Amino acid sequence: MTSEFAVEMRDVVKKFITPEGHEISAVDHVTMQIKNGEFFSMLGSSGCGKTTSLRMVAGFEWTTEGEVFIEGKPMGHIPPFQRKVNTVFQSYALFQHLTVFQNVAFGLEMEHVEKEEIKQRVGRALEMVQLTGMDRRKPKQLSGGQQQRVALARALVKTPEVLLLDEPLGALDLKLRKEMQLELKALQQQLGITFIYVTHDQEEALAMSDRIAVMSHGRVQQIGSPVEVYERPVNKFVADFIGESNFLEGRINSISESEAKVFIHSLNVELIGIPISEGLVNGDEVTVCIRPEKIRIVEEDIPNQNIFCGKVANTVYIGADTHVFVNLYGIKLKVWEQNFISRLHSKLYAVGQDVCLALAPENTLVLKKD
């Protein structure tokens, strides 16, 4: 390996002129470094620049500013077929009139690889995606998941060191999607190929990735492991986009060592012993973020414990959990309680019931106001 990074985007900008004549920055100063053998995801909502970023790595689009490096080499205007990457596109469009074998063999035939070698390599690629024995079928004789695997085999047969995947599971139903997630992840680990995976599905990104780049409006908001982006989001956007959160606006009232007292405006209460990150000072206006599953419903109010009492406003039973909405001094907080006891008739909480909420300091994140 010539470089620590399989792929690097260094301060990349991509501007488009829309047909309406406006200039937009689809990708806005993006820097990311993807390590060899890593499963790296770009996660963000529709239009945030994921596909455009991937297309610049693949060479289907040039950067307006900045540079893409593959194995440490600047790519400039090197065309796609000379880059050591292969792409599985958002819509994977197989050739309908060709068999599975011919679809997978197509790229190799274009490169005039010998017949015998083609046979061996296609066989191996089909084995990887568990489609052995289906090589004579046409795409329409396959299920959606199987067609997706053909698309994958078509990319794998070229033995790329880096595979770019643009929402490859987007067209599949939820159950198949989850199965394919596990299969893809296992395949990636087994082959040791670098995957750059684009998705707008946060659960998918959390389940599969070594690291995730959370994107919005062409910019990277945070890059981190699934645990880092969920447990330590760097701003309100990330905390809101990944998982669910209760947000409370507040002000830092005092700081001693790395703990703070944070006054919550809407509740007119002070949270104490709250760990805070560097860079925050006394008097700063902040957003306090608490995940619904990290709030505990407790029986009684204990002074100086960040316990506050209110009434149950609503409950929603969703099988594994019950979502309890609690009215606290006029503000509604969401609390997810796990249904760890099987029961049929008695509801966990009644509307109007008095309950107290424990907001543990270690579960309370203080974010700089956006």
Interface residues with ligand ATP (CB under 6 A) are 16, 18, 24, 26, 44, 46-52, 200
State the minimum distance, in angstroms, from the CB of residue 37 to ligand ATP: 25
Binds 18: which of ligand ATP, Mg ion, none (CB < 5-8 Å by kind): ligand ATP
* Closest residue by beta carbon to Mg ion: 51
State the minimum distance, in angstroms, from the CB of residue 108 to ligand ATP: 29
Minimum CB distance to ligand ATP smaller for 47 or for 80: 47
Extract the tokens encoding 141: 């004789």
Minimum CB distance to ligand ATP smaller for 83 or for 200: 200
The answer to whether residues 361 and 271 touch, using CB atoms and an 8 Å cutoff, is: yes
Binds 200: which of Mg ion, ligand ATP, none (CB < 5-8 Å by kind): ligand ATP
Minimum CB distance to Mg ion smaller for 200 or for 291: 200
Extract the tokens encoding 130: 């568990």
Minimum CB distance to ligand ATP smaller for 161 or for 240: 240
Q: Is 216 in the site for Mg ion (CB under 5 A)?
A: no
Q: Is 51 in the site for Mg ion (CB under 5 A)?
A: yes
Query: HSE-up of 31 (CA within 13 Å, CB side)?
Result: 2
Minimum CB distance to ligand ATP smaller for 13 or for 348: 13
Tell me phi and psi for residue 198, to 5 degrees: -105, 130
Binds 26: which of ligand ATP, Mg ion, none (CB < 5-8 Å by kind): ligand ATP
E-strand ranges in 58-97 read 65-70, 73-74, 85-88
Q: Which of 301, 293, 328 is nearest to 312 (CA)?
A: 328
Question: What crossing angle do the helices spanning 144-156 and 115-128 adopt, rounded to 10°?
Answer: 130
The stretches of the chain forming alpha helices (DSSP H) are: 50-58, 100-110, 115-128, 144-156, 174-191, 202-208, 226-231, 236-241
Q: Is 87 in the site for Mg ion (CB under 5 A)?
A: no
The answer to whether residues 56 and 63 touch, using CB atoms and an 8 Å cutoff, is: yes
Choose the binding region for Mg ion from 7-15, 26-34, 49-57, 135-143 (rule: CB under 5 A): 49-57
Minimum CB distance to Mg ion smaller for 88 or for 367: 88
- The DSSP-derived string for 166-225 is ESTTTTS-HHHHHHHHHHHHHHHHHHT-EEEEEES-HHHHHHH-SEEEEEETTEEEEEE-
State the minimum distance, in angstroms, from the CB of residue 267 to ligand ATP: 37
For Mg ion, the binding residues (CB under 5 A) are: 51
